[in-house]
Structure 1
Amino acid sequence: MNKIKKLVVELLCICMMMSSSMWAFAEEKIIESKEELVKKEEQFNNNENFLIEKKYGEYFLSKFNYSEDLSDPIPLYNLENNIEAVVFSLKNKDADGYIIINTNDLSIPEFSLSKSNPFTTGVYDKCIYNGPLEYYNKKDGKITTIYDNKQIDLNNIKLVYSKKPIDKLEKFENEKNLIKPKKPTETYEELKGSLRTWGTSHYCGVDGTAILLMYFDDYYDESFVKTSLESANALTNHLVNNRYIPDKGTVSTEIKSGIEDYLNDRGLGNDYDVSRRTYNFSSIKQKIKQDKPVLVGTVSHPDFGDHWIIAHAYYEDDFGDDYIIVNDGWGSNDVYVANNSTYYDYLVYIY
């Protein structure tokens, strides 16, 4: 009997030792977990890693059925020489893309699932971003535009793009919980046809007008453009040589009057009108639904005056993400730019 009691006592001691060891192990794992969380938060707040922007971008793009990793982050500076955003490259099955995410509030001013990252076209000291489609670089103390490498004076540019900092982790968690359980209620409307992807040596106002006219020629009335002029160089040269659209930085009044003169000379002035109005998302939606592309002028471009892009679709959802989908004025369609009147000034369209 004594032997049995002794065995029971020994077993109880072993169990107590095991229990103590297990609790110590569990406590150690909890501490490790907390340390990992702190480390993760520190990494999220480290602008060199841009981990929270990367994760947020992945959740955002899941709404568009994109599931690949974001890669190759490049910091983007604002005109006040502070990091304002980060651009990631996207690797798609058929084409590369990019997404720009603000490092202050995680807003997304611009992305494309088919156009390559505009900030990987060279090696720069700094990349500068001033809102949708305003791309600059700094090298050896000089500021140049990315697409044509023209040197500019930053004093001539109006500060358009700057966001106030918020709690990014809180926003990330809140929106992740919204996005993950359900697909948002969304609206996507596009033109029935496709815009030409023309990018010539002329200014964007010339190219944009040519693309607009060719859409009407392709889908409305073949008398819009003479058959001999139905190519990028032929039509843009015609618009410049006949002084319809100046081959320089243009404003909305010049674009409107130039298109009106062109339509009158083609005998189309009685059938079609040209409208110019301040930027309005509702007007763009209305015209897209009517199968009419819209020329959109961006604000404060130092070289182009207005940089002209052509809206061919729009997207909006119940998470507050509203975008116009445009031809970027350099030969690419399907670029999503945020609906924000701060970035644009005038619309010009044929109706």
Structure 2
Amino acid sequence: MITENEWLGIAEERFSPYRNIITKSGYLCGTSAATTFLCYYQDYFSNTIVPEHIRKPGSQETKALQDLLRVIIQPFDFPTISLQVSHGLSRYFRLFQLPFRARQTPVGGIQRVKKRLAQGKPVIVGLMKLRGSTYGNHWVVAYAYKKDETGKEWIKIHDNWGNYRKVVPASWINATVSLP
């Protein structure tokens, strides 16, 4: 149980190595978020989730993984919905015969975020312009959550634009993609 203004989740320093994973063009934020997500899982949960010929655990070299995920998740550089990101990750897992399957929550998702962060697991989060997101519709990786003294909920994210310590309102969340 956490108290008000206490962050629940993962220490932000763990996301510093991924600060250079950015969305370089177009609508590839789903691919960038998936890259950050898989790198974290490889470094902290399962070093085989990314084959070593694509990325070595702890490496900051992520181009090969990002390029592969782009082909699998966003081959046409179109905006994505949670189904595409989760299905793309699951296709990636099948391609390498890995025992994982991505889950998605197409609407809402704050409960999924809190549950996964309580387990120390990051979550790919879709932020929505209609919910107030200054990023517009954008995929990021959430790694910490808190409720402030006024009852407002916040998440700490790696934003795929170079900021791995960004704090945004949880009310911007539209969808999530995670691993069980």
Give the structure-2-normalised TM-score. 0.79
Separation (CA, whole Å) in 2 of partners of 1:282 and 1:223: 28
Tell whether the 8 Å contact from 2:89 to 2:101 is kept in structure 1 after alignment: no
SS in 2 for 1:267: coil
Q: How far, CA to CA, are the matches of 1:264 and 1:313 in structure 2?
A: 29
Displacement, 1:245? 3.3
Q: Distance in 1 between matches of 2:33 and 2:23?
A: 10
Contact map agreement 2:7 2:145 (CA 8 A) in 1: yes
2:58 aligned residue: none
Matches within 5 A, 1:225-304: 225-230=50-55, 231-241=61-71, 243-246=72-75, 247-268=77-98, 271-277=99-105, 278-300=107-129
Match of 1:313 among 124, 144, 147: 144
Identity of aligned residues (%): 24
- TM-score when normalising by structure 1: 0.42
Q: CA deviation at 1:347?
A: 0.8
Alpha-carbon separation, structure 2, partners of 1:308 and 1:239: 14
Q: Does 1:213 align with 2:41?
A: no
Counterpart position of 1:201: 24
Quick check: 2:4–2:146 contact (8 Å CA) kept in 1?
no
Deviation at 1:319, TM superposition (A): 2.4
1:251, 1:306 within 8 Å by CA — same for their partners in 2?
A: no
Q: For the pair shown, which has the larger CA radius of gyration, 1 or 2?
A: 1
SS in 2 for 1:253: helix
Write the distance in 2 (CA, Å) between the matches of 1:286 and 1:232: 28
Which residue number in structure 1 is paired with residue 170 of structure 2? Answer: 339
How many matched pairs?
A: 161
SS in 2 for 1:347: strand
| Aligned-residue RMSD, C-alpha | 2.3
How far apart are the structure 1 equivalents of 2:39 and 2:4?
Answer: 34
Q: CA deviation at 1:253?
A: 1.1
How far apart are 1:337 and its partner, in Å? 0.6
**Superposition map of 1:1-351 within 5 A:** 185-191=4-10, 194-195=14-15, 196-197=18-19, 198-202=21-25, 203-230=28-55, 231-241=61-71, 243-246=72-75, 247-268=77-98, 271-277=99-105, 278-300=107-129, 306-340=137-171, 343-351=172-180
Following the alignment from structure 1 to structure 2, what is the Cα–Cα distance between the partners of residues 225 and 275?
18
- The SS at the match of 2:97 is coil
Between 1 and 2, higher relative CO (CA 8 Å, sep ≥ 6) is seen in 2
- Relative distance call for 1:344 and 1:265 in structure 2 (3 A) is same
> CA 1:300/1:217 → structure 2, altered by over 3 Å: closer, same or farther?
same
| Cα distance change of structure 1 residues 234 and 344 upon mapping to structure 2, 3 Å threshold | same
Cα contact 2:125–2:140 (8 A) shared by 1 = yes
Q: 1:285, 1:314 within 8 Å by CA — same for their partners in 2?
A: yes
Gaps of 5+ in 2: 56-60
Unaligned 5+ segments in structure 1 are 1-183
Contact 1:250/1:305 (8 A) holds in 2 = no
